[in-house]
Amino acid sequence: MKKLLIGIGIAVALLLVIALPLINTYNSLVTRSQSVDAQWAQVETQYQRRFDLIPNLVESVKGIMAQEQAVFIAIADARTRYAGADTATDQAAAANDVESALARLLVVMENYPELRSIETVTTLMDELAGTENRIAVERGRYNTEVRDYNTAIKRFPTVLIAGMFGFDPRDYFESFPGTDQPPVVDFS
């Protein structure tokens, strides 16, 4: 009987030696995965701030710049695509389209100094510029979280546990081709 209890004790000890690191690793991966999701939510929060500001900016500028309907339509279309996007990649693509349209709007405003003198437009543009900076910061933080998560799931022996429980690599936020070039606004 004593040998049976010792055998059970050793089996339980071995099980704990194996199970506790497994549980700890699994919980660590869940925490990292949730951090990536939470950081993407921060990016989306800043996108929403941008999209909330855009209608106010557009309405402020629209009366003065009726001839620039193409820019306003591009902004509205990109906003609609973002709202209908199902994945982070689709959302990022739509957000890049918004950025491109906003950049064209900024060029337009530079060519029309009377717009800059309107206090409402100036205030909204400052808010929008601040929002763009916040978006850049949150994207950077998101990519840092993705890097940490992807590194964690690729390290041995965590890679074995990640594979067993379906922890797949996440995509980084990346700019799309052409976003490194400034937009061209042609009034001809």
- CATH value at residue 93: 1.20.1440.20
| Portion of the chain with pLDDT greater than 70, in percent | 79
Residue 187 inside a domain? The answer is no
Q: Cα dihedral angle (57, 58, 64, 69), rounded to 10 degrees?
A: 150
Residue 186 inside a domain? The answer is no
Cis peptide before 157 (omega within 30 of 0): yes
Residue 172 inside a domain? The answer is no
Domain carrying residue 144: 2-165
Q: Is the pTM of this model over 0.75?
A: no
Residue 183 inside a domain? The answer is no
Span 24-78, pLDDT tens digits: 999 999 999 999 999 999 988 888 888 877 777 777 666 655 546 677 777 788 8
Span 133-171, pLDDT tens digits: 888 898 999 999 999 999 999 999 999 999 999 999 998
Confidence of residue 120 (pLDDT cuts 50, 70, 90): low
Domain total in the chain: 1
